[in-house]
Amino acid sequence: MHNNQDLSLARANRVLTERLRPAIHSHPQPLALAAHRVGGEPIPVADGLAAEYVPAQVGDPWGRAWDTTWFRVTGTVPAAFAGRRVEVLLDLGFDTNMTGFQAEGLVYRADGSPVRSLHPRAQWIPVAKEAAGGEPIEFYVEAASNPVLLDYVPFLPTEKGEWETAGEELLYRVRRADAVIFETEVFELVHDVEVLLQLAEQLDAGSARRAKILFALDRALDAVDLQDVAGTAAAGRAQLAEVLAAPAAPSSHLITAVGHAHIDSAWLWPLRETVRKVARTTSSMVTLLEEHDDFVYAMSSAQQYAWIKQHRPEVYARVKQAVADGRFVPVGGMWVEADAVLPGGEAMIRQFLYGQRFFRDEFGIECRGAWLPDSFGYSAALPQLLVGAGFEWFLTQKISWNERNVFPHSSFEWEGIDGSRIFTHFPPMDTYNSQLSGAEVALADRNFKEKSVGSSSLAPTGWGDGGGGTTREMIARAKRLADLEGSAKVVWEHPDVFFARARAELPEPAVWKGELYLERHRATYTTQHKMKQGNRRNEQLLFEAELWASVAAVRAGRAYPYELLDGTWQEVLLLQFHDILPGTSIAWVHREAAARHARVTEILQGVIADSLAALGVELVEPVETTAPLVEPAETTAPGLDKLDQRDLLVNAAPIAQSGVGAGSVGVATAGSPISATASGDGFVLASDSLRVELDAAGHLVSAVDLASGRDAIPAGERGNLLQLHQDFPNLWDAWDVDNSYRKMRRDLDAADEVRLDGDAIVVRRSFGASSIEQRLSLSADGRALLIDNTVDWQETEKFLKLAFPIDVFADTAVAETQFGFQTRTTHDNTSWENARFETHAQRWFLVREPGFGVAFANDSSYGFDVVRSRRGGAVVSDVRFSMLRAPRFPDPRADLGVQRMRFALAFGADEARATELGWAINTPARPAVGAALAPLVRSSDPRVLISAVKLADDRSGDLIVRLYESSGGRATTQLLLDLDVAAVRAADLLERPGEPVEYAADGAVSVELALRPFQVRTLRITPA
């Protein structure tokens, strides 16, 4: 018989698009429209309903960028609609290709109760499942005219990312406001045809199944009268019943669909808009759950629940009920979907602590899995932190974004730096916004790597970012894909159910050891420096504030500031969201985040000063309590270079500083004699342990560690060399730096001025409209070179690095990660190594050979690179701090203005020295007067560091102490407690008590603890 499959496919596609889909809604009856333009920030719902409305028409323009317009839609259901399903269609000028990135609305009844959201792909409002005819229609729509920033030509610089610069142009035009009949049978026909057509497109051209489907589609379309689709839809469907009923093969892949909307907590819109995006999406999702018994919806981020609880309580009440019913599923157990490489270890733990606490308090549940589909890489410390917080599984799909290498597993065990393992799944559909299209379903099947033994994968299903989540169309597809010959099967399921099955299918899962490095978005370690600076500063201040507040509570009976610390932690955790801390949001977001960081700093400085005051210790340099809210406070902390002037030092760090022990207040030992002198054309900084020479242009030409006599700088080379690169990536300006950047480099050789200033050397350079002042000095103990940089940055699409050629033969560079460190090769033998041309560290990184290394520490930056190069017959390590970038999308003025950062270099260093240096420049000792204080808790082994001392989250008064093994080896330490103790128990990272721990209490209380390499342990101590 003759058949032409191409013609059948083309026919089905055209009829579906042009005739069947438009026939789902029939008999449009225009409704009356009125509008109220807010002209500023959103107003309360009650005000919106009560506002003065002016008549509006279809065709009217509306909505300047970021404004809110309230629409009122009124009319009467026509008598002819009696007995039919009736909806309102309201098209505010949507572009269906830009779903999630443009105008959206939330629909209310006249009494203020929410109905559902309006989105490009869901422009309908339910009126009646079976209309009586004659009933009144009255809806109000809170419509946000968010501008499209990621446009058809993406990544163009835009001024629309701030209210003030966005312009007054009206961006949208109302296209439609009608009451219509919803033709149920046509809707079903559309999805019969669509699912079969999309399946046929994926099947092999020679397959019998494909031929049978196309034959059936032709027969169905023969039966449909295109002038009366509604009247003939049933006849068309009858022709498809047989091919739709054919069951899937027994070995078919099984896709767990989980309803989802990946809503970025801020990105191309400000934080306040996310509050409304969440309210819109969740209001639609609870309605969808009510209408479809088998549907399951998952939402992450306790912060997003907290927002609707506070701002849209009527929506939240319905969400809470749906959670109680077990089908609206909180996932992830985190405060937000944070970046997963830049936050410090303690902050990652608090993401879990505050996330799970919220879900426990609000819903009586804890999440069993961590859900980070979109963060830009995952720290090698995470497996331990996830397991330690009680998680059983981990999900992401982001590694499918790798530019170069294909990750070899879909389901596997992920092993961290300490050997902890967690079962992990990467949805092989390679998306967190599945539509359950035929192409996506086929990709999941094809791309699933464990298919020789397993057959299960997960698909987060729904429009994200304010696209409205899962749609009834996706549910209609899932229904047909449940058991369909030629296709993978689809079932709506709780992710825990999926993970239990997926794990059972893989008795011997493959193991991936170490970080999940994302081969993309490498510039997010550097972009928007103030985000990095605020995060680091406040993480360190939180550590310090909790320590002194705990000591003051235990020793002086001062009330522990639970509320202040909870509030500041939650701010810092929010600002770690994976488009805020990485620096990839619009200007509005970053301006607000910097102000929020400054406010947190101010509060924490107050907590520290007040706690110390209660202990009889007065900080000499008064704590800044009137820090401006917009400009973050200075990070250059007092003390490190001024020790000789003060009597007492407050040392919160878990390392000794200037002779003052960890976690104590004491008298500083005399600092090392330090000199800064001119010498010939250049300058010399010298101490008992270090001699550093600079040339006349302020470059480092020698750095001799006097203990070993070794010069770290290769002969004839220059360190402290600023290098400026052109930096215009192929895509994703704020996110990406492409390897080609290295080829376009300008060394900033010339200095405007190099001079002595006390015991420091000041170097000033200018380039283009930019300038930098560096202040080079030695630390008070004489053991480290400090470089304080103040950059007036006025570049466009440039990347600034600070380079140090180091005479060290190192195959690997060592970088601090959360609670430990990891190594990465400095060569690029393989494509995996080649892809890691820009990497990240927490407070320090290190190049070393046995017996000698150089440590590089920072107070506010994360990016760096190390390249091996051959100089004068030897291979040396070219080590560079990443300082600043100047991308123009999405913030056209990212990083412009004055930026400050401090670096420190230690010569003759190993990992232990690097760890110490990292702590020292981030939690420097503070000059003070008053009473010395012995530490409340102390670890006898210097490799075991205390990372948190706080009162328990449950407000029982128990003391929580967290410590970690920092060397990558085994350690046994005595934890010494200077308080009367009633009980010591082990605890997990969420502070839940476990087994009692033995302790000795003759004199001081001591607890002997053995730790594995990089192990993190938590103790819960009940005071007597």
Task: Name the minimum Å distance from CB 301 to Zn ion.
Answer: 11
Binding piece for Zn ion, criterion CB under 5 A, among 179-187, 262-270, 498-506, 737-745: 262-270
- In the block, residue with structure tokens 């009940």: 1022
Cα 412 to Cα 254, 454, 578: the distances in Å are 17, 11, 24
Q: Which residue has the closest beta carbon to Zn ion?
A: 374
Measured CA to CA, the distance from residue 937 to residue 852 in angstroms comes to 33
Binding piece for Zn ion, criterion CB under 5 A, among 52-60, 78-86, 259-267, 435-443: 259-267
Task: Name the minimum Å distance from CB 401 to Zn ion.
Answer: 11
DSSP state of 645: G
Task: Name the minimum Å distance from CB 465 to Zn ion.
Answer: 8
Our CB check for Zn ion shows the closer of 31 and 149 to be 149
- Helices and strands in the chain, H and E counts: 19, 54
Beta strands in 67-103 (DSSP E): 68-76, 86-91
Please, are residues 21 and 230 in contact by the beta-carbon 8 Å criterion?
no
Question: Closest Cα partner for 724 from 839, 789, 802?
Answer: 802
Measured CA to CA, the distance from residue 333 to residue 319 in angstroms comes to 17
Task: Name the minimum Å distance from CB 375 to Zn ion.
Answer: 8
The secondary structure element, H or E, covering residue 804 is strand 798-806
Our CB check for Zn ion shows the closer of 579 and 592 to be 579
Our CB check for Zn ion shows the closer of 374 and 717 to be 374
Q: Judged by CB under 5 A, does residue 717 bind Zn ion? A: no
CA 717 to chain centre: 39
Our CB check for Zn ion shows the closer of 300 and 535 to be 300
Q: Please give the size of the binding site for Zn ion, defined by CB under 5 A.
A: 2
Our CB check for Zn ion shows the closer of 268 and 914 to be 268
Measured CA to CA, the distance from residue 92 to residue 99 in angstroms comes to 13
- Structure tokens given for 221: 């379309």
Measured CA to CA, the distance from residue 753 to residue 765 in angstroms comes to 7
User: Strand order of the sheet with strand 745-747?
Assistant: 745-747, 721-726, 798-806, 874-885, 863-871, 839-840
DSSP state of 969: S
Task: Name the minimum Å distance from CB 570 to Zn ion.
Answer: 19
Measured CA to CA, the distance from residue 894 to residue 299 in angstroms comes to 31
Task: Name the minimum Å distance from CB 363 to Zn ion.
Answer: 24
The secondary structure element, H or E, covering residue 945 is strand 944-951
Our CB check for Zn ion shows the closer of 188 and 374 to be 374
- Structure tokens given for 420: 């902890």
Question: Closest Cα partner for 29 from 105, 130, 137?
Answer: 137
CA 536 to chain centre: 15
- Structure tokens given for 167: 């312009």
- Structure tokens given for 423: 């079962």
Q: Which of residues 369-428 bind Zn ion (CB under 5 A)?
A: 374
Our CB check for Zn ion shows the closer of 264 and 733 to be 264
Q: Which of residues 897-916 bind Zn ion (CB under 5 A)?
A: none
Q: Which of residues 350-379 bind Zn ion (CB under 5 A)?
A: 374
Please, are residues 84 and 181 in contact by the beta-carbon 8 Å criterion?
yes
Task: Name the minimum Å distance from CB 267 to Zn ion.
Answer: 7
Please report the sign of the dihedral spanned by the C-alpha atoms of residue 521, residue 281, residue 333, residue 475: negative
Q: Judged by CB under 5 A, does residue 264 bind Zn ion? A: yes
Q: Judged by CB under 5 A, does residue 339 bind Zn ion? A: no
Catalytic site includes residue 225? no
Task: Name the minimum Å distance from CB 389 to Zn ion.
Answer: 22
Catalytic residue among 374, 641, 807, 865: 374
Question: Closest Cα partner for 1006 from 1017, 1019, 991, 989?
Answer: 1019
Our CB check for Zn ion shows the closer of 374 and 592 to be 374
Our CB check for Zn ion shows the closer of 339 and 374 to be 374
Task: Name the minimum Å distance from CB 377 to Zn ion.
Answer: 13
Name residue 805's beta-bridge partners: 878
Binding piece for Zn ion, criterion CB under 5 A, among 153-161, 260-268, 761-769, 909-917: 260-268
Show which residues are catalytic: 374
Q: Which residues bind Zn ion (CB under 5 A)?
A: 264, 374
